[in-house]
Structure 1
Amino acid sequence: MLRVGAAEFQGNIEKYQDIALREPVAVTRNGREGTVLISADEYRHTRGRYRKVMGPDDFTEEDLRAIEEAEIPEEAKAFDHEVED
C-alpha cells in the first residue's frame, strides 16, 4: 500500500485518486496512517463482505428452535482447527 503525507496528498489529490484506482493509498498525518483511499469498486466489494451481527433478541422463537435442533454436517469437522477452545 502506498503511503503519502496529508500535505502531499492535498496538493496532488488527482494523482492519488488515479493511483487509488489500482491500489489503496494510505494518507498519513505526523507519520501515522489516518485514512485510506480506495476505488469505489473496491469499497463496494469490501462493504459487501461485511456481515450483520445479530443479538439474541433478533431471533424469533422459531429461529432459536431451528438452531437448537440443527445437526452439524460431517464435513464441517474439517474446520474444527479454526475454533479456539
Structure 2
Amino acid sequence: MQRFSSLDLQRNVARVQEAALRESVTVSYHGRDRLVIMPVDEFERLRRRDRVVVAIEDLPDEFADALSEPYANPAQAALDHLLDD
C-alpha cells in the first residue's frame, strides 16, 4: 500500500488517484494515517461482505442451540476464576 501525506494529496490529486486505482493508498496527516483511498470496485466488494442480520427465530437450530449454551467451548469455563476480584 502506498502512502501519501495530505499535502501530497492537495498538490498531486491526479497522481494519488492514479495510484489508488492500482492499489489502495493511505493518506496521512501530521504523520498519522487518516484516510484510505481505494477503487470503487474494491469498496463495493468489501461492502458485499457486510454481515447480514437475522432474527433468532430464523437461525438454524444448531446455531440457536449454541447461543443458548453458557459456554461455546467448555475450556473457557476454566478461565472464569480470572474474573473474580
TM-score range, shorter chain: 0.5 to 0.7
User: Of the two, which has the highest radius of gyration?
Assistant: 2
Runs (4 or more) in structure 1 with deviation over 2 Å come to: none
Partner of 1:33: 33
Cross-structure match for 2:24: 24
% identity of equivalent residues: 36
How many residues are aligned here? Answer: 66
Task: Tell me the residue number matched to 2:10.
Answer: 10
Residue 74 of structure 1 corresponds to none
Q: Give the direction of change, closer, same or farther, for the CA distance of 1:69–1:14 in structure 2 (3 Å limit).
A: closer
Amino acid at match of 1:22: R
RMSD, aligned CA:
2.5
Q: Distance in 2 between matches of 1:3 and 1:69?
A: 42
Structure 2: gaps spanning 5 or more residues: 65-74, 77-85
TM-score by length of 1: 0.64
Cα distance in 2, alignment partners of residues 16 and 4 from structure 1? 8
Indicate yes or no: 2:45 matched with 1:51: no
Once the 2 structures are TM-superposed, how far is the Cα of residue 50 of structure 1 from its aligned partner? 1.6
